[in-house]
Amino acid sequence: MFPTVGFPPLNKFGTSEEGCCGIHSAVPNALIEAGQQWPSGKQMSPEHHALQAELSEAIARGLATLPEELRLALILVDVQGLSYEEVALVMGSPTSTVKSRLSRARTQF
C-alpha cells in the first residue's frame, strides 16, 4: 500500500483541460515527498531519489490511463486508505460498485 501522508482533501483537486480529475498529478508528488526522508531521519541518496521520481512518474502515467471513476476508487482505497464503505459515501455509489470499480482499476492499471 502507498503512503497516506500529505494528501489534500478531494474537493481541493481541480480538473485538467481534458476534464479528468486532477488528483493523479498530486499522487506522484506526495509519493516523492513521503520518500524524501528515510525512517531513521537520514536523507535518501540522489540515486534513490531518482528511482523514486521515476516510479512516481510511472504511477502517474498508469493512473492517467484509467477512467475517472476507476482512478478515484483506486486512489481512495489504495492511497488514501479509505474503507469500501467510506469510498461508497464519497462516490455516492453502493459498496458493491466500489468493489467492482476497484477490481477493474487494479486489472487495468
pLDDT for 109 equals 83
- 12 residue type, one letter: K
> Mean of the pLDDT values across residues 31-50?
66
Which residue carries 510511472 as its cell?
Answer: 58
> Mean of the pLDDT values across residues 37-58?
78
pTM (2 decimals)?
A: 0.59
Percent of the chain topping pLDDT 90: 43
3-state SS class at 21: strand
CATH class of 67-109: mainly alpha
Query: Is it the case that residue 108 has pLDDT exceeding 80?
Result: yes
Which residue spans of the chain are classified as CATH 1.10.10.10? 67-109
DSSP 94-108: -HHHHHHHHHHHHHH
> Mean of the pLDDT values across residues 67-76?
94
